[in-house]
C-alpha cells in the first residue's frame, strides 16, 4: 500500500524500535500503578480462597455472576487478534500491516486473563486439576459430557495456537533486535529468534507456517466462542437454552474484539507517536468493520428477543419481561444504546467517522458488550423456573476489585509487551525476501 511504502526503512526501524530502548518516568509510573491494582486483585482472590466464595455477592439462584461475565468478556476480546489479523492476512489486505501484531498480542493476553477467571470462580480452586484429564491411581476422569470440559479443551487449544500465531511473525524482528541490543535483552531476543538468519528457505517456511496458522487459528477462534456459548446454551435455564447462542456469541466476540483493538491502537498511536503508521485509514476501515459487527449484533439480539416475546413461554417470558421493562431494563436499554445506537449514528455517516469517533464507539461497545454478558449470566439465573427461588444479585467489593484488576492486567501486559517487542512488525515494511 502506498501509505506504508512512503516511509523509508531506516526511519521505520528507528521509530518502531524507539519504545524498546527508552522508557520515561511516565511509563514506570503507569507500570507501578497497574502492578498495584493487579496486586490488589490477587489479594482479593487470596482473601476469597481463604474465606470462601461467600465474600463475593453470589447467592442462590445466581450461582454465576461477575466472574463468569468477565470470563466470557475476555474470551470475546481475544477474538480481536485472530479474527482481524487472520482474516486480513488470508485475504491479503494490504492495510493490515501495522494492525496485526497489536491485535495478536491482545488475543494472547485476553486469553491469559480469560483462562484465569474460571479458576477464580471455582469453589475449591485448589482442586482445579481434577478438571484436567490426567492418568491417576484412582482411575478418575473428568466428565467429557460437561460443556465446561469442552470449554477447557477449546480455550487451551486456542491459547496455544494464538501464542504460536503471535510468535511466528515476531521471529524476523527478534533476530534483528538481537543484533541491536545488549545484556539480558540480547539473550532473550537471541533465544527467541531460533537462529533466524533470513535465508530464502527460512522465509519460505515462515510464510507457509503463518498462512497455515492463520487458517487454523480462524477455525479455532470460531469454535472457541461457540463452545463458550454452549456453557450456557446446553443448560435448560430459560433464556440460555437457545440455538442461536453459538453464532450470537461469536458475533459479540468479534464485535468487542474489534473495539478492544481500536482502543489499543489509539493508545499506541498517541503514546508511542505512531501517527505515520496507524493512520486515519486504519481507523476508518476498523470503524467500518465495527459498524458491520454492530449491525450483525443488533440483528441477533432482535432475533433472540423477538422469538421469546412472540412465543410467550412463561419461563422464558419472565426473564424477558425483567430484561425489557423490569429490574434489568436499565442494563438492557443502555446496552442497546452503547452497542447499536451510538456506533450506528457515529459510524454510518462518513463525515462523522474519524479517529476520535471510532475510538469513542469502541469504548461504548466495550462497556455495552460487558453489560450484555452480565445480562446473559445474571438476568437469566435470577429468574429460574420456580418463582419461589427468584433472587436479586449485587456484587461486593471482591468481584469489583477482581474485575477491575482484570482490565488493568490487560493494560499492564500491554505496557510490558510494548516495551520488549515492537508493536508493529518491522520486517513487513522492508522489501526483503518475503512474499
Partner 1 sequence: MDQQDTKPHRWGMAIDLDRCTGCEACVAACHAENNLPLSTPDSAAKGRAFHWIRIDRYYEGAFPDIKVKFMPVLCQQCDEAPCEPVCPVYATYHNAEGLNVQVYNRCVGTRYCANNCPYSVRFFNWFEPVWPEPLTLQLNPDVFVRPVGVMEKCTFCSQRIKRAELEAKQESRSLRDGEVQPACVQSCPAEAMVFGDLNDPASRVSRLAQSGRATRFMEDLGTQPKVFYLKRGE
Going by C-beta distance under 8 Å and a sequence separation of 6 or more, which residues neighbour residue 421? 20, 101, 170, 173, 174
Cβ proximity to partner 1: between 65 and 86 the closer is 65
**Residue 237, interface with partner 1 (CB under 8 A)?**
yes
CB 265 within 8 A of CB 104: no
Least distance from partner 1 to the Cβ atom of residue 428, Å: 42
**Residue 59, interface with partner 1 (CB under 8 A)?**
yes
Cβ proximity to partner 1: between 88 and 237 the closer is 237
Site string for partner 1, 128-157 (x = CB under 8 A): x-xx--------xxxx-xxxxx--x-----
Cβ proximity to partner 1: between 147 and 247 the closer is 147
Cβ proximity to partner 1: between 67 and 277 the closer is 67
* Contact with partner 1 (CB under 8 A) among 43, 212, 306, 389: 389
Going by C-beta distance under 8 Å and a sequence separation of 6 or more, which residues neighbour residue 368? 334, 335, 336, 337, 338, 339
* Contact with partner 1 (CB under 8 A) among 8, 197, 386, 435: 386
**Residue 325, interface with partner 1 (CB under 8 A)?**
no
d(CA 169, CA 96): 13
Cβ proximity to partner 1: between 128 and 299 the closer is 128
Going by C-beta distance under 8 Å and a sequence separation of 6 or more, which residues neighbour residue 109? 409, 410, 413, 414, 417
Cβ proximity to partner 1: between 302 and 389 the closer is 389
Which residues lie across from 59 on neighbouring strands?
A: 62
**Residue 311, interface with partner 1 (CB under 8 A)?**
no
CB 426 within 8 A of CB 16: yes
Output DSSP code: residue 337.
I
Q: Which stretch binds partner 1 (CB under 8 A): 101-109, 257-265, 287-295, 383-391?
A: 383-391
Least distance from partner 1 to the Cβ atom of residue 111, Å: 20
**Residue 52, interface with partner 1 (CB under 8 A)?**
yes
Residue 254, all three cell numbers: 468479534
The DSSP result for 94-152, as a single string, is GGGHHHHHHHHHHHHHHHHHHHHHHHHH-TTGGGGGGGS----TT-----TTSHHHHHH
Side-chain-side CA neighbours of residue 140 (13 Å): 5
* Contact with partner 1 (CB under 8 A) among 25, 236, 243, 351: 236
Residues that bind partner 1 (CB under 8 A): 51-54, 58-64, 121-125, 127-128, 130-131, 140-143, 145-149, 152, 234-237, 381, 384-386, 388-389, 391
Amino acid at each position: 500500500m502506498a501509505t506504508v511504502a512512503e516511509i523509508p526503512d531506516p526511519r521505520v526501524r528507528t521509530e518502531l524500535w524507539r519504545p524498546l530502548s527508552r522508557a520515561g518516568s511516565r511509563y514506570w509510573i503507569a507500570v507501578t500503578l497497574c502492578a498495584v491494582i493487579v496486586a490488589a486483585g490477587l489479594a482479593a482472590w487470596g482473601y476469597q480462597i481463604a474465606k470462601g466464595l461467600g465474600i463475593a455477592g453470589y447467592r442462590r439462584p445466581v450461582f454465576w455472576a461477575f466472574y463468569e461475565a468477565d470470563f466470557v468478556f475476555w474470551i470475546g476480546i481475544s477474538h480481536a487478534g485472530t479474527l482481524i489479523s487472520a482474516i486480513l492476512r488470508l485475504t491479503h489486505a494490504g492495510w493490515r500491516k501495522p494492525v496485526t501484531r497489536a491485535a495478536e498480542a491482545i488475543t494472547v493476553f485476553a486469553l491469559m486473563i480469560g483462562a484465569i477467571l474460571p479458576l477464580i470462580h471455582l469453589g475449591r480452586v485448589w482442586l482445579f486439576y481434577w478438571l484436567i484429564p490426567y492418568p491417576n491411581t484412582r482411575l478418575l476422569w473428568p466428565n467429557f459430557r460437561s460443556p465446561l470440559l469442552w470449554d477447557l479443551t477449546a480455550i487451551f487449544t486456542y491459547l496455544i495456537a494464538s501464542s504460536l500465531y503471535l510468535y511466528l511473525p515476531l521471529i524476523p524482528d527478534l533476530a534483528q533486535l538481537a543484533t541491536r541490543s545488549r545484556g539480558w535483552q540480547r539473550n532473550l531476543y537471541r533465544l527467541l529468534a531460533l537462529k533466524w538468519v533470513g535465508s530464502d528457505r527460512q522465509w519460505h517456511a515462515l510464510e507457509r507456517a503463518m498462512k497455515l496458522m492463520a487458517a487454523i487459528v480462524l477455525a479455532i477462534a470460531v469454535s472457541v466462542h461457540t463452545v463458550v456459548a454452549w456453557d450456557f446454551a446446553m443448560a435448560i435455564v430459560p433464556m440460555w437454552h437457545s440455538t442461536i447462542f453459538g453464532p450470537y456469541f461469536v458475533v459479540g466476540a468479534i464485535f468487542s474484539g474489534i473495539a478492544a483493538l481500536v482502543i489499543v491502537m489509539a493508545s499506541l498511536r498517541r503514546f508511542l507517536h505512531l501517527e505515520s503508521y496507524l493512520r486515519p485509514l486504519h481507523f476508518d476501515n476498523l470503524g467500518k468493520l465495527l459498524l458491520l459487527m454492530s449491525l450483525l449484533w443488533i440483528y441477533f439480539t432482535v432475533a433472540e428477543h423477538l422469538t421469546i416475546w412472540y412465543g410467550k413461554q412463561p419461563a422464558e417470558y419472565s426473564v424477558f419481561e425483567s430484561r425489557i421493562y423490569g429490574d434489568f431494563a436499565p442494563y438492557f436499554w443502555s446496552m442497546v444504546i452503547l452497542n447499536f445506537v451510538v456506533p450506528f449514528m457515529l459510524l454510518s455517516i462518513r463525515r462523522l467517522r474519524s479517529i476520535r469517533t471510532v475510538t469513542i464507539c469502541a469504548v461504548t461497545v466495550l462497556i455495552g458488550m460487558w453489560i450484555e454478558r452480565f445480562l446473559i449470566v445474571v438476568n437469566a439465573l435470577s429468574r429460574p423456573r420456580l418463582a419461589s427461588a427468584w433472587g436479586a444479585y449485587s456484587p461486593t467489593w471482591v468481584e469489583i476489585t477482581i474485575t477491575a484488576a482484570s482490565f488493568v492486567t490487560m493494560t499492564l501486559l500491554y505496557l510490558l509487551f510494548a516495551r520488549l517487542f515492537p508493536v508493529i512488525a518491522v520486517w513487513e515494511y522492508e522489501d526483503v525476501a518475503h512474499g
